[in-house]
């Protein structure tokens, strides 16, 4: 079976329109959470989110066929993919003899744009005008835009399992490489803020009026975010052959369902323990080898203790020695893009021997007895890391990444 | 485990023909059967969607539970319970080793409209919390997991028309990787006016004097498993997928992706094109897709002319429609039905005959708007 490398990373987040800006500001302990400008937040419990400055995106030069009616989510995906492909030193999918696979986590896609149509339609009836705002509504629209932009002809898969979507996407891409179905895959996800998710999490009382504080005893909920991550996932032999170097290796992934509740996690952590153990088994490594966990850490009342309980079950007496940090206090909860962004951050942590901090954390919670890497980034060698995601509907997934051998 | 050792162990269906595989089988054996069309929408005439008018959860999902489920979750729960019961009671696999893969085109849209209705017409703070979890496309698969305590991987795919076929392919992948012992592979769509109206505005739906799609509502389920398991209906012998660049709302300019997916599927199955007895056509009424399919079939089959069967114009187009085409194919190679819905006109004109007798090897392929193509080969066992 082939070894799988991550050879390119592209990021679009509230901290910056690219990988390096995001990483530098994250490690410095900065937060991208601020006042929402995309829509009116009057009537909601909060007025903040981690919003991307779309004006700063470095979009590749593309014709109108690719960009016509492209949503924010599609533009995030295009910018992240262009950065990832360039970072990997790959010119274009057209130049490779093997078709590239594309596996993305898809979320709200063009819903932010379509909401304007829905508002007019609900108020004005069927005679209201509107078509272009609907083009990017399908959740695989960002995938289609990438296929069009890069001339991709390989398998194209869009995973939509809410907050674990792009974690599974990266795992699936790695599995396709391992199985010889592709030599190069673009994997990750994109998601954009919209009124639906803002109103929905508001209605569930799951949002904090202040920026999210993962694993902190003062936490009162999540902060929504948006962005994209695209990772170039590549067969190691193919990458070596062209002189590429890896950020990290994808050792394995696991996915399970807790079969418990649509929005509440199974509180004992037993279900998420199964996910973590499945990922470790797939990777062929023991829990005792894990140096770092990039956690889900949403900062909701229910998630963080259940998540930490799962880590306690897996790491047992080592729990205090395995740093667990969440980027959601800095980048917000980017929903279907979250897992891809966190996988990218985890790969950077491995490559740069620096653990990203849990921005927003200040006060320890006995229910979350982990080392959350408070403050700013911390130097630390990482050979094996886990990136974990837990989602609506109990669909959880974890990736195991390793340092370059 | 080789690809040939992934089997269809059971099937379930909710279609415009009724609830259950038996209702689908009766409709497939009736050349005169056509679905009831007509999806109501606010302030305008109904849209051409093949709806499940008689659908009920009665005697299948307890009323208190059913009330908590959105319509796509109810459709899937009923179809999946039929398939799981057929697989055995109790299930022959540990529930935590049973996964779910679902393809959907529009699950969550009705709930989404209700949340946005509150936001735009009442107050953002009036958004109904009970509706929000149903706005995620993975709600039907997740609710099925919760309902039947299925703890394996639970993954939903969005790939427009080919989502249901994708779910079957990815179920096979999960089995081959031993991530699950059995997988409920399915497609599910609801009759939803917002999605349908979008395609009507694109002039992609059938209308008087204009060829176009009839969208579908329903759920198609195949329970896939390797060995051991209950007696198989069919084997998932091969699959393939490819894509071609196209905007999200358009079909690609050529048939390369669809042909490549079919060629991969046959190669993985170790079957030559001349051994295929039946093509379950992707034709959905849109002339551009018919042209793509004809070009792809000619590229794959050269001079061979397997029988071809039109399904989408009866059961409706969608991710559910794709899964239901696979259900029809599985039943056909199993000898459980001889569908008499005829060969689509574009293939008939090119010399592809209608199905007149048993088939042992079926090719089910689909092409989505935006460019993704998926193909499956199902064989008799």
Give the separation between CA A252 and CA A279, rounded to whole angstroms.
Answer: 6
Residues 212-251 of A with CB under 8 A from B: none
Fold match between A4-241 and A248-402? yes
Cα(A233)–Cα(A90) distance, integer angstroms:
12
Q: Phi and psi for A346 in degrees, rounded to 5?
A: -65, -40
Of B116, B201, B247, the CB nearest to A118: B116
pLDDT at residue A392, as a whole number: 84
> Would you tell me how many other CB atoms lie within 10 Å of the CB of residue B127?
26
Identical fold for domains B3-225 and B234-379, yes or no, is: yes
pLDDT at B54 over 80: yes
Residues B49/B215, Cβ–Cβ less than 8 Å? yes
DSSP B106: S
Inter-chain touch B244–A271, beta carbons under 8 Å: no
pLDDT band, residue A92 (cuts 50/70/90): low
Q: Tell me the residues of chain A between 280 and 339 that have a Cβ less than 8 Å away from chain B.
A: 282
Active-site option among A194, A296, A308, A336:
A296
The tokens describing B182, both together, are: 């059995």
**b/e sequence B226-255, b meaning 16+ C-beta within 10 Å:** beebbebbbbbbbbbbbbbbbbbbbbbeeb
Q: What are phi and psi of B273, to 5 degrees?
A: -60, -35
pLDDT higher than 90, residue A112: yes
Residue A214 Rama label (left phi>0; alpha psi -120 to 50; beta): beta
Average pLDDT over residues B53-58: 94
**For residue B4, is pLDDT > 50?**
no
- Is the domain defined by A248-402 classed in CATH 3.40.47.10? yes
Predicted confidence (pLDDT) at residue A129 exceeds the cutoff of 70 = yes
CB contact under 8 A, A119 and B124: no
Supply the pLDDT for residue B3.
Answer: 43
3-state DSSP assignment of residue B376:
strand
A238 is catalytic: no
SS3 call for B101: strand
Of A347, A244, A295, residue with least CA distance to A11 = A347
Q: Are B155 and A255 in contact (CB under 8 A)?
A: yes
CB of A111 closer than 8 Å to CB of B337? no
Q: Under an 8 A CB cutoff, do A257 and B156 touch? A: no
In chain B, % helix, strand, coil (3-state, to 5) comes to 40, 25, 40
- CATH classification of B3-225, choosing from 3.40.50.300, 1.10.10.10, 3.40.47.10, 3.90.220.20? 3.40.47.10
A73–B contact, CB cutoff 8 A:
no
Domain assignments of chain A as residue spans, ordered by start: 4-241, 248-402
| Gap between the Cα atoms of A77 and A10, Å rounded | 9
pLDDT band at B1 (very low <50, low <70, confident <90, very high): very low
The secondary structure of residue B352, as a DSSP letter, is P
Supply A141's token pair: 């629209």
| Mean predicted confidence (pLDDT) in B104-118 | 95
Instruction: Indicate the range of A291-295, B191-195, B296-300 predicted with least confidence.
Output: B191-195
Task: Please check the confidence at residue A94 and state whether its pLDDT lies above 90.
Answer: no
Q: What is the predicted pLDDT for the residue at A97?
A: 60
User: Which of A220, A238, A333, A334 does the annotation list as catalytic?
Assistant: A333
Report the candidate in A221, A233, A196, A193 with the shortest Cα–Cα distance to residue A2: A233
Chain B positions touching A259 (Cβ under 8 A) are 95, 145-146, 148-151
What is the H or E stretch that residue B167 is in? helix B163-176
Contact A233, A174 (CB under 8 A): yes
Contact check, Cβ <8 Å, A199/B166: no
Structural contact between residues B90 and B149, judged by C-beta atoms closer than 8 angstroms = no
Instruction: Tell me if B127 and A115 make a contact (CB, 8 A cut-off).
Output: no
For B242, the closest of A99, A119, A151 (CB atoms) is A99
- Residue A62's pLDDT band (boundaries 50, 70, 90)? confident
Q: Is A175 on the interface with B (CB under 8 A)?
A: yes
pLDDT score of A123 more than 90? yes
Cα dist. A218→B47, B260, B356 in Å? 51, 55, 70
Residue B212 has pLDDT above 80, yes or no: yes
**Helix H or strand E encompassing B18:** strand B18-19
B172 vs B166: CA distance, rounded Å: 10
Residue of B nearest to A200 (CA): B132
Residue A2 confidence class, pLDDT cut points 50, 70, 90: confident
Q: Residue A6 above 60 pLDDT?
A: yes
Pick from B124, B132, B369: which is nearest to A43 by CB? Answer: B124
Q: Which of residues 115-174 of A touch B (CB under 8 A)?
A: 115, 118-119, 121-123, 125-127, 130-131, 134-141, 143-145, 147-148, 151-162, 168, 172
| pLDDT of A391 higher than 90 | no
The Cα B361–Cα B381 span in angstroms is 10
Of A44, A158, A257, the CB nearest to B157: A158
How many degrees, rounded to 5, is the angle at CA A324 between CA A321 and CA A325?
145
User: What is the band of B125 on the pLDDT scale with cuts at 50, 70, 90?
Assistant: confident
pLDDT in the model for residue A161:
96
Q: Using CA atoms, how far apart are residues A77 and A143, in angstroms rounded to an integer? A: 8
- Nearest Cα neighbor of A140 from B159, B373, B322, B103 is B159
- Copy the structure tokens of residue B259: 């042909």
Minimum Cα–Cα distance from B251: chain A residue: A144
The CA–CA distances, whole Å, from A170 to A231, A233, A253 equal: 8, 8, 9
Contacts of B197 by beta carbon, 8 Å cutoff, 6+ apart: A121, A126, B41, B44, B47
Shortest distance between the Cα of A25 and any Cα of chain B, in A, equals 32
Residue-averaged pLDDT of chain A:
95
Tokens 């199902």 sit at which residue? B378
Look up the ipTM and state it: 0.97
Instruction: Tell me which residue of B338, B381, B379, B337 sits closest to B361, measured CA to CA.
Output: B379
- Tell me what the pLDDT averaged over chain B comes to: 96
Interval B355-367 mean pLDDT: 98
pLDDT tens-digit series, residues A142-199? 999 999 999 999 999 999 999 999 999 999 999 999 999 999 999 999 999 999 999 9
Beta bridge partners of B281: B310
Residue A398 confidence (pLDDT) above 70: yes
Specify the 3-state DSSP secondary structure of B329: helix
Cross-chain residue pair A99–B135, CB shorter than 8 Å: no
What pLDDT shows up at residue A66?
Answer: 87
Predicted confidence (pLDDT) at residue B353 exceeds the cutoff of 80: yes
DSSP tag of B211: -
SS3 annotation, chain A = CCCEEEEEEEEEECCECCHHHHHHHHHCCCCCEEECCCCCCCCCCCCEEECCCHHHCCCCCCCHHHHCCCCHHHHHHHHHHHHHHHHHCCCCHHHCCCCCEEEEEECCCCHHHHHHHHHHHHHHCCCCCCCHHHCCCCCCHHHHHHHHHHCCCCCEEEECCHHHHHHHHHHHHHHHHHCCCCCEEEEEEEECCCHHHHHHHHHCCCECCCCCCCCECCCCCECEECEEEEEEEEEHHHHHHCCCCCCEEEEEEEEEECCCCCCCCCCCCHHHHHHHHHHHHHHCCCHHHCCEEECCCCCCCCHHHHHHHHHHHHHHHHHHHCEEECCHHHHCECHHHHHHHHHHHHHHHHHHCEECCCCCCCCECCCCCCECCCCCCEECCCCEEEEEECCHHHEEEEEEEECCC
The answer on pLDDT for B47 being more than 90 is yes
* CATH H superfamily, domain B234-379: Thiolase/Chalcone synthase (3.40.47.10)
Strands B182-189 and B98-104: parallel
Q: What is the rounded distance in angstroms from the CA atom of residue A225 to the CA atom of residue A154? A: 30
Chain A residues lying within 8 Å of B151, measured CB to CB: 256-259, 271, 274
Query: Would you place residue A64 in the very low, low, confident or very high pLDDT band (cuts 50, 70, 90)?
Result: confident
**Region of residue B38 (left: phi > 0; alpha: psi -120 to 50; beta: else):** left
How many angstroms separate the Cα of A204 from the Cα of each of A192, A207, A210, B67? Answer: 19, 8, 16, 19
Instruction: Round to whole Å and give the CA distance between A297 and A202.
Output: 18
CA distances from B344 to B294, B314, B376 (A): 10, 11, 19
- Kind and range of the H or E element at B76? helix B71-87
Indicate if A296 belongs to the active site.
Answer: yes
Answer whether A156 sits within 8 Å of B371, measured CB to CB.
Answer: yes
Whether A108 has its CB under 8 Å from any CB of chain B: the answer is no
Q: Which fold has domain A4-241?
A: Peroxisomal Thiolase; Chain A, domain 1 (3.40.47)
Residue A261 in contact with partner chain B when CB distance is under 8 A:
yes
- Angle of helix A195-203 versus helix B109-121 axis, rounded to 10: 80
Burial of A227 (0-12, 13-18, 19+ CB in 10 A): buried
Question: Do A147 and B243 make contact, defined as CB atoms within 8 angstroms?
Answer: yes
Q: Do B139 and A68 touch (CB under 8 A)?
A: no
Q: Where are the domains of chain B?
A: 3-225, 234-379
- Nearest C-alpha of chain A: how many angstroms from B180? 9
Nearest Cα to A18, choosing from A6, A26, A27, A10? A10
Token digits for B376?
């499956």
């Amino acid at each position: 079976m082939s070894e799988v490398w991550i050879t390119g990373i592209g990021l679009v987040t509230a901290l910056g329109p690219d990988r390096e800006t995001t990483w530098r500001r994250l490690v410095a302990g900065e937060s991208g959470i601020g006042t929402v400008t995309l829509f009116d937040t009057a009537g909601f419990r909060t007025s903040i989110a981690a919003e991307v400055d779309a004006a700063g995106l470095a979009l590749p030069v593309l014709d109108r066929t690719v960009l016509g009616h492209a949503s924010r989510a599609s533009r995030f995906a295009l910018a992240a993919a262009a950065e990832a492909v360039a970072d990997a030193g790959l010119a274009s999918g057209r130049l490779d003899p093997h078709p590239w696979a594309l596996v993305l986590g898809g979320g709200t896609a063009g819903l932010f744009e379509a909401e304007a149509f829905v508002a007019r339609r609900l108020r004005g009836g069927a005679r209201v005008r509107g078509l272009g705002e609907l083009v990017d509504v399908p959740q695989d629209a960002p995938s289609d835009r990438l296929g069009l932009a890069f001339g991709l002809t390989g398998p194209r898969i869009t995973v939509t399992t809410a907050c674990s979507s792009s974690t599974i996407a990266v795992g699936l891409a790695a599995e396709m490489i391992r199985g010889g179905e592709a030599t190069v895959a673009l994997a990750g996800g994109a998601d954009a803020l919209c009124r639906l998710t803002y109103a929905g999490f508001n209605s569930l009382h799951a949002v904090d009026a202040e920026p999210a504080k993962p694993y902190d005893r003062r936490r009162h909920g999540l902060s929504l975010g948006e962005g994209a991550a695209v990772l170039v996932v590549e067969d190691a032999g193919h990458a070596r052959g062209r002189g590429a170097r890896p950020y990290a290796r994808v050792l394995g992934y696991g996915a399970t369902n807790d079969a418990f509740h649509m929005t509440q996690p199974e509180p004992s952590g037993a279900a998420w323990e199964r996910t973590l153990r499945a990922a470790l088994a797939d990777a062929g490594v023991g829990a005792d080898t894990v140096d770092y966990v990039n956690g889900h850490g949403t900062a909701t009342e229910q998630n963080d203790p259940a998540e930490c309980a799962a880590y306690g079950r897996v790491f047992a007496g080592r729990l205090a020695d395995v740093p667990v940090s969440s980027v959601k206090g800095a980048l917000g909860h980017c929903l279907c893009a979250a897992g891809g962004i966190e996988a990218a951050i985890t790969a950077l942590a491995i490559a740069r021997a620096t653990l990203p901090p849990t921005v927003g954390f200040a006060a320890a919670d006995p229910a979350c007895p982990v080392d959350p890497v408070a403050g700013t980034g911390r130097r630390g060698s990482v050979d094996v890391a886990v990136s974990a995601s837990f989602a609506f509907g109990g669909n959880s997934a974890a990736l195991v990444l390793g340092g370059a051998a | 485990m080789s690809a040939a050792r992934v089997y269809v162990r059971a099937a379930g269906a909710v279609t415009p023909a009724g609830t259950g595989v038996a209702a689908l089988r009766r409709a497939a054996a009736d050349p005169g059967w056509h679905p009831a069309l007509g999806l109501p929408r606010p302030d305008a005439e109904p849209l051409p969607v093949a709806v499940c008018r008689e659908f009920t959860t009665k005697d299948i999902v307890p009323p208190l539970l059913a009330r908590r489920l959105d319509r796509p979750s109810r459709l899937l729960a009923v179809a999946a319970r039929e398939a799981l019961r057929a697989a055995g009671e109790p299930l022959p696999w540990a529930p935590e080793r049973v996964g779910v893969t679902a393809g959907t085109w529009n699950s969550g849209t009705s709930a989404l409209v209700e949340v946005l209705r509150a936001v735009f017409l009442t107050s953002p703070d009036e958004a109904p919390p009970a509706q929000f979890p149903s706005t995620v496309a993975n709600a039907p698969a997740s609710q099925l997991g919760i309902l039947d305590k299925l703890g394996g991987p639970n993954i939903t795919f969005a790939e427009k028309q080919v989502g249901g076929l994708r779910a079957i392919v990815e179920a096979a992948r999960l089995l081959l990787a031993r991530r699950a012992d059995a997988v409920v592979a399915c497609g599910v769509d609801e009759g939803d006016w917002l999605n349908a109206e979008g395609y009507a505005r694109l002039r992609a739906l059938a209308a008087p004097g204009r060829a176009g799609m009839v969208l579908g509502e329903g759920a198609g389920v195949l329970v896939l498993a390797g060995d051991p398991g209950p007696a198989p209906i069919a084997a998932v012998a091969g699959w393939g997928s490819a894509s071609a660049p196209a905007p999200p709302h358009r079909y690609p300019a050529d048939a390369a992706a669809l042909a490549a997916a079919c060629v991969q599927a046959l190669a993985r199955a170790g079957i030559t094109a001349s051994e295929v007895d039946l093509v379950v056509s992707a034709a959905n009424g849109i002339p551009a897709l018919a042209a793509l399919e004809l070009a792809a079939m000619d590229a794959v089959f050269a001079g061979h002319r397997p029988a071809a069967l039109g399904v989408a114009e009866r059961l409706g187009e969608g991710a559910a429609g794709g899964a239901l085409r696979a259900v029809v194919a599985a039943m056909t190679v199993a000898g459980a039905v001889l569908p008499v819905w005829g060969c689509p006109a574009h293939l008939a004109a090119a010399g592809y005959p209608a199905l007149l007798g048993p088939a042992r090897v079926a090719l089910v392929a689909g092409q989505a708007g935006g460019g993704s193509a998926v193909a499956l080969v199902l064989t008799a066992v």
